[in-house]
């Protein structure tokens, strides 16, 4: 049954048009870096611009945008079209459904974001450690973002809108203005990992310590997954009473 769940989820997420559009976002990141390099900037300037693009565009825009689209569709698409009833009718533990869908969505987000981040970093700066650090951080961030958006899709039918609002308003505005909110900013968690893994040239990109960031990633991811399981059980109960 697990294999069937993986197959169903992949078919739902790898909608051809949506997948192409999301993949093009990664290509756009690489293209922007490539266009900048055509001006033949000094190496130190290229390094600084690349670092800014990786933190602001790759981690700040590409990662959460892909995660909110993929994460909210992992279960949300079945809720919207009503096919979730057929899935819940099977004797499969609800935690397994959530876990499989979360892992598949995480893999899809990772594939769409991490390689593009790695390539952009490698071609933009003469520092492989920086590129690898940001790519690895994108993998970690993909898990946390995806867990939150999967849970969100089970809490509201407007998960995509709410998720985009979180990314734009909370992480883009509130966390940038108020230092006290950065502890609960997923972007800051990801940047802390990138700073820790990206070598000396990544120093100063995060405003949160690695230990606090890792603790937050674990708490948020596990908490979101548990909430998603609980909400999916509620969906089943509603289905039985209607």
| Mean pLDDT of all residues in 113-128 | 94
Taken in order 84, 90, 95, 101, the sign of the CA dihedral is negative
CA distance 107 to 114: 10
What's 181's DSSP letter? G
The model's pTM: 0.90
Confidence (pLDDT) at 179: 65
Q: CB of 84 within 8 A of CB of 163?
A: no
Q: Kindly state the tokens that stand for 95.
A: 């935690």
CA distance 185 to 37: 31
Which of 32, 54, 73, 68 shows the shortest CA–CA distance to 190?
54
Query: Which ranges of 38-127 would DSSP assign to H, the alpha helix?
Result: 43-52, 63-81, 84-88, 94-124
Q: CB of 142 within 8 A of CB of 52?
A: no
Q: CB of 232 within 8 A of CB of 98?
A: yes
- Cβ neighbour number for residue 18 with a 10 Å cutoff: 14
Question: What rounded mean pLDDT belongs to the chain?
Answer: 88
CA distance 121 to 124: 5
Q: Kindly state the tokens that stand for 64.
A: 């959460």
pLDDT tens track for 173-206: 776 666 666 678 899 999 999 999 998 889 888 8
Residue matched to tokens 């999301």:
22
Confidence (pLDDT) at 76: 82
The rounded Cα 239 to chain-centroid distance in angstroms is 30
What's 60's DSSP letter? I
**Strand, coil or helix: 206:** coil
CA distance 205 to 193: 10
pLDDT tens track for 132-151: 999 999 999 999 999 999 99
Confidence (pLDDT) at 206: 87
pLDDT tens track for 147-173: 999 999 999 888 999 999 988 888 877
Confidence (pLDDT) at 184: 81
Residue matched to tokens 């990992």:
193
């Amino acid at each position: 049954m697990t294999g069937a769940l993986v197959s169903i989820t992949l078919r739902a997420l790898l909608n051809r048009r949506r997948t192409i559009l999301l993949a093009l976002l990664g290509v756009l990141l690489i293209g922007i870096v490539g266009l900048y390099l055509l001006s033949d900037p000094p190496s130190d300037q290229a390094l600084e611009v690349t670092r800014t693009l990786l933190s602001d565009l790759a981690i700040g825009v590409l990662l959460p945008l892909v995660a909110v689209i993929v994460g909210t569709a992992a279960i949300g698409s079945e809720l919207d079209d009503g096919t979730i009833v057929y899935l819940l009718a099977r004797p499969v533990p609800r935690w397994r459904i959530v876990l499989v869908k979360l892992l598949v969505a995480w893999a899809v987000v990772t594939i769409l974001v991490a390689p593009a981040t790695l390539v952009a970093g490698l071609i933009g700066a003469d520092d492989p450690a920086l590129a690898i650090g940001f790519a690895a951080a994108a993998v970690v961030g993909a898990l946390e973002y995806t867990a939150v958006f999967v849970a969100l899709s089970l809490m509201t039918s407007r998960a995509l809108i709410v998720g985009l609002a979180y990314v734009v308003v909370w992480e883009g505005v509130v966390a940038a203005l108020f230092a006290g909110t950065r502890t609960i900013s997923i972007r800051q968690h990801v940047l802390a990992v990138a700073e820790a893994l990206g070598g000396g040239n990544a120093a100063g990109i995060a405003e949160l310590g690695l230990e606090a960031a890792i603790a937050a990633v674990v708490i948020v991811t596990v908490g979101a997954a548990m909430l998603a399981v609980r909400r999916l059980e509620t969906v089943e109960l509603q289905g039985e009473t209607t």
